[in-house]
Amino acid sequence: MYPGFHPYHPGHPQAYQDSCSCHGQLKLVDYGKRPLVINIDEASKRNQTYRTALWTGDHFQVTLMSIFPGEDIGLEVHPSTDQFLRIEEGQGLVQMGPSANQLDFEVMACDDYAIIVPAGTWHNITNTGPMPLKLYVIYAPPEHPYGTVHVTRADAIAAEQG
């Protein structure tokens, strides 16, 4: 059916166990429109890049991000894209507002916090902790080209200006 597809059968619990013991085999690449089952916590924590697209479809996209201590994602707005972000590891200051000069919403967030950013909302997340902030982002619709990998924030800025 699909490459790597192993259906779960109640009579064969080993099939389920094998499908969940993928430590060390996880490739952090854009799987495109193919079906994907992944331990998003593990993938987020293993990601060492500023941004890596993990899955890009027609209607939404999943990216992994790693933000160094003291750095941020960069103040930005997506006029027609909603975002869901989830912190898997670390802590940060979340800021949002109606304009770049009016970030009137500020909250500290850490492991397991979800952040919802409506389209048209200015936002930023700053890593306030001592270790990299590991998170994943769902964009609807997709925000970045298929296969996007930005090793550093500088790479992301260059690609956007490019």
Write down the pTM of the prediction: 0.84
Compute the C-alpha angle 72/73/78, nearest 5°: 145
Q: What one-character DSSP code corresponds to residue 89?
A: E
**What confidence category does residue 160 fall into, taking pLDDT thresholds of 50, 70 and 90?**
confident
Burial class (CB in 10 A: 0-12, 13-18, 19+), 65: buried
Fold (topology level) of 40-161: Jelly Rolls (2.60.120)
Nearest CA to 56 out of 34, 76, 40, 89 is that of 34
In terms of phi and psi (left: phi > 0; alpha: psi -120 to 50; beta: otherwise), the region of 120 is left
Q: Give pLDDT tens digits for 17-35.
A: 334 545 557 799 999 999 9
Q: Where are the domains of the chain?
A: 40-161
Q: To the nearest whole percent, how much of the chain has pLDDT over 70? A: 85
Q: Give pLDDT tens digits for 145-159.
A: 999 999 999 999 999
Check if the beta carbon of residue 81 is closer than 8 Å to that of residue 91. Answer: no
